[in-house]
Amino acid sequence: MSGDRLGALRAAKLRAIAGAHLGLTVDVDQGEGLADGAALASADRVAVLIGRPSRRSLGPALSWAAKRFDGADNAQALARVDLVLDPTVPVDEHPVDHDPGLAGSSPAADDRFGLDGGDARTIGAQLARIGGLFRPDVRVWVVEGTDVVEVTAAPAPDVPAAPGVEADELVELLRDVGLEPCAEPGMILGEVAGLEVARITVTDGVPSLAIGVGRFDQELSAVAQSDLSRRDALERAADLVRLARTMGNTAHANATHPMARLARERWLRTSLIADPGVIGAAELAALPGLWVRRGLRASAPAAAVGNDVDGRALIVVCSTGVDTDLVPAALELAAQTDASARLVLALPPNDIVPSTRRVAALALTEPEIVAVVPPWEPVAGHR
């Protein structure tokens, strides 16, 4: 069945649900098919059908709603957004780069965030919680057979702590070879300009160190570089990355170099930690996120915490490209870290798009959006 036909069927299902269960009056031709569902607007409300529910689902729904109500008074005009989760509807195939959530077991496992990907109620309860950070009334519903059941917000899942004192010796080794230790849920990464070249994890109280650019390279390096000491292997991996990600190097002048295109949001964070005054900060340090990337080519927001020049607590969330769930992810992180902190979204100028600004304007506490010249821009004299 064609994508257009599937979209029309999803729109028809949403119209039926909206009229029978959500109290909306809709016309027979209302509704727009989306890749994962459908959406429609009626008066001051929007309803969105989601066929592939995840903790990333709120951002795209709010983006559609905000665009539909785009105008001078739109943030006030949009009163309510209903998310209808129905994993049984047919959806289009497309990749998902990252899932905000709880880091858990295997990095390749769909349930690694402690949420059952097949349990729409569990996911819906998290969406309802995150939706409470926005001005419109966000309600979440789950289709169960012929019933449409509203789900209430649930507390945020616990986030696994990064390795502690048991990993101190390995962390010191990372520093000795010039790597930047960055804590993440359940692990510590050793980075060069935001790119992972080592990973520390702890199993049954025993710390281990994997060396290489990303998880798959680490698995290969464990065999190919078995004759090297850990220090030598770390230095070799770090030197390779520095060629592509260090200001002034010839390779750095080519922004299309493969290693210059990976994990750019983390590279942007590294540059702001080194020069916090660019965004009016006095100091910044890396902040673990609530998400884990699926791989080196995937992206996920990179956060930092500190104080601005006026002494106020500051949280900075860096992103590159267009992440439709950036605003909800940043608000969720800020709410769990320090709800009173000033929240700044830092992006390269060309990556600040109207949809991000529109969704930010719907937040109860609107985050600031700041354009930052990225560190991978060619250096004068090295073009």
pLDDT in the model for residue 76: 55
Domain membership of residue 215 as a residue range = 165-246
The answer to the question of residue 298 being in a domain is yes
Sign of CA dihedral 217, 223, 225, 228: positive
pLDDT in the model for residue 297: 75
Total structural domains within the chain = 3
pLDDT less than 70: residues of the chain = 1-3, 28-30, 72-76, 93-118, 214-227, 247-257, 294, 378-383
* Listed residue (104, 242, 231, 226) closest to 169, CA to CA: 231
This prediction has a pTM of: 0.87
Q: How far apart are CA 62 and CA 46, in angstroms?
A: 9
The answer to the question of residue 159 being in a domain is no
Instruction: Indicate if 42 and 76 belong to the same structural domain.
Output: yes
Instruction: Indicate if 143 and 174 belong to the same structural domain.
Output: no
Residue 87 class from Cβ within 10 Å (0-12 exposed, 13-18 middle, 19+ buried)? Answer: middle
Q: pLDDT tens-digit profile of 298-324?
A: 778 999 999 999 999 999 999 999 999
pLDDT in the model for residue 244: 81
pLDDT in the model for residue 214: 61
DSSP category for residue 134: B
pLDDT in the model for residue 303: 97
pLDDT in the model for residue 219: 44
The answer to the question of residue 253 being in a domain is no
The answer to the question of residue 252 being in a domain is no
Decide which of 217, 246, 275 is a domain's last residue. Answer: 246
Instruction: Indicate if 308 and 263 belong to the same structural domain.
Output: yes
pLDDT in the model for residue 96: 46
Instruction: Indicate if 141 and 190 belong to the same structural domain.
Output: no
pLDDT in the model for residue 249: 56
Instruction: Indicate if 238 and 186 belong to the same structural domain.
Output: yes
Decide which of 219, 246, 273 is a domain's last residue. Answer: 246
pLDDT in the model for residue 226: 54
